[in-house]
Structure formats: structure tokens, C-alpha cells
Amino acid sequence: MVEEVVQQPSRNPVIAAIDCGTNTIKLLIGALPAVAVREMRMVRLGQGVDTTGELALEALERAFAALDEYAALIAEHGATRIRFCATSATRDARNAAVFTAGVRARLGVEPEVVTGDEEAVLAFDGAVRHLSPTPPSPVLVVDVGGGSTELILGDTTPRRVVSMDIGSVRLHERHLHDDPPTAAQVTACVRDIDAHLDRCGVDPGAAATVIGVAGTVTTLAGGLLGLTTDRGPTEAVVVPVAGVHELVERVLAMRVAERRVLTWMHPGRADVIGAGALILDRVLRRAGVADLLVCPTDILDGIAWSMVDDQPGG
């Protein structure tokens, strides 16, 4: 289902932003700040990339099917500008040219394979742009993706940025092979995460506020809030860090089939949520904050606003 929102008058053009990650492809259409369409498809584009170095044929087929739907929505809403940003999976794939050609054929634009640092800046802007009141600084934005995780420390703008090659899909495929994962597999995953955090150059302990964005974080927030939809919170919410740690333990102990029937869990995220949850868990253990601010806006919103900001007078 496409979520339709009544638009308010805006002098901004109707734009279409697409965020293509390792696990999902997301679309936003609107004359900002009004949003007409916000959609997500689970396509698992990064399936096997960590092992094979290539995008799998079936993953490309899923992604192209989603883009065919998105192309129809973009035409229906009369978007005059499209920006397509591809992140971790296509950065790492040897056959990325096949994906690029498919995007060009369907949408008429070149996909931008953004760097990890660019990805982080867009995620930071999407998270903090409309927060009111402004949270205490320094602010750490944590964006747990399917193939990479971004940590961005700043105030109104990013000051220190890092993109680590750990994400929910990548670490699930690398470590969590049993259902549920064994204690040894969880320990190996934690060691991998901690090793990346040790050398990443951004200290979560320096943050006065930690903001979590993207699907892993919003899904866990939905679990803590007892939501009956897998879309996650629709506005910024504060959840206790102690509750996050407890929920991560419960999720890791579940079988995938048990996770899939949770009211707040998207079925397409159920197998990899454990690895993503561990990343968030380890970051929060270093941060030392009592609460986590969860924002439903993320890199997709940053991509959308980038098209408005570069307009004359934007």
C-alpha cells in the first residue's frame, strides 16, 4: 500500500528521492516539506555480496521489479527531479554496471553510488533537520544499514563522520548461521562489531544525545512501543537504552519464524534483525546515555532535501 498524505501548498518543485541500500529500496515523492508518497520495498540487493563480490541475479530482479513500481508512481505524481542514491551493496559489487544500466532504463537517471562519508552526511541531515527542540550536543546519529553502519558526531552539522563495513545483512551472512544463532556465533559477531568500533575514530561516549535512524532502529523501537504495524514510529520518540538491550537479547533468542509473526516486525527483516540489533547494542554500550532518540526520518529525507537546497534561493 502507498501511504498518501494530503499536501500543503509549497513553492518547492515536486521531487523524487530514492535510497537504494543493501536490504531496502525506499522512495519519497513530494513538494517539500509536504510528502505525497513514502514507500519501501525489501529487495535484499546485497544478498551474498560480502562473499561473492557480485550482485546476485535474483537480487537484481527484485530490485528492478521495485523500480518499475516506483517509476509508475513518479510519473503519476509529476516529479520534475529524481535523485537516486545507491549505497553499500553497489559500492562493493563487481557487476554494478548491470544495476546502473537497469536504473537508467527505468528511471532515466544515473544512480549515484555515494561514498560512506556522503551517505553519513545525508543521514545526519535527514535525522536532525526538523528536530524541535534541538537536542543537547554533541549529537551522535547512528544509521544501521544492511551493508554498512554510519556514525556521525556533530551539532547542527556533522563534525566527525565514519562509515563502517558492518550491517545487518553483511554480519548475518558472516556470523549468524544457525536459527537461532549459537552463543559462539553471537560472540564472534560482537567481536567483529567491537573491532570496527575500536578503530573507527568516532567515540560514542562523546555524545550527549544519541539518535538512531533506519529500519533496524525503528523496528526495535516499534517492539519497545508495542506497535501493531511494521512501519515503525511515525514521529521522533525516546526509548530507554536499558529496554533496547533487553529487547536485543530476546530477539536473538528467537527463531526467524517467531520473529516474522511479531506485529512490529517486517517479515523481510526478520532473519537479519539480530545482527543489526547487535550493532546498535554495542554502540549504545559505549555511549553511556540513558535514552535513545529514534527518528523516522533518515538518509531518504536527506536525499530529498538536497534537491531543494541546491535550488536557487534554496
pLDDT at residue number 313: 54
Query: How far is CA 165 from each of CA 46, 48, 169, rounded to the nearest angstrom?
Result: 12, 14, 11
pLDDT at residue number 2: 41
Taking phi over 0 as left and psi of -120 to 50 as alpha, with beta for the rest, 288 belongs to left
Where the chain has pLDDT below 50, the residues are: 1-8
Phi first, then psi, for residue 127 (nearest 5°) are: -80, -45
The C-alpha cell 544499514 sits at 145
3-state SS class at 22: coil
pTM: 0.89
Domain 131-294 of CATH type 3.30.420.150: yes
User: Residues 63, 216, 157, 165: is their CA dihedral positive or negative?
Assistant: negative
Fold agreement between 3-116 and 131-294:
yes
pLDDT at residue number 247: 98
Instruction: Identify the architecture of domain 3-116 in CATH.
Output: 2-Layer Sandwich (3.30)
Question: What distance in Å separates the CA atoms of residue 185 and residue 174, rounded to the nearest whole number?
Answer: 9
pLDDT tens per residue across span 244-274: 999 999 999 999 999 999 999 999 999 999 9
- What are the boundaries of each domain within the chain? 3-116, 131-294
pLDDT at residue number 11: 76
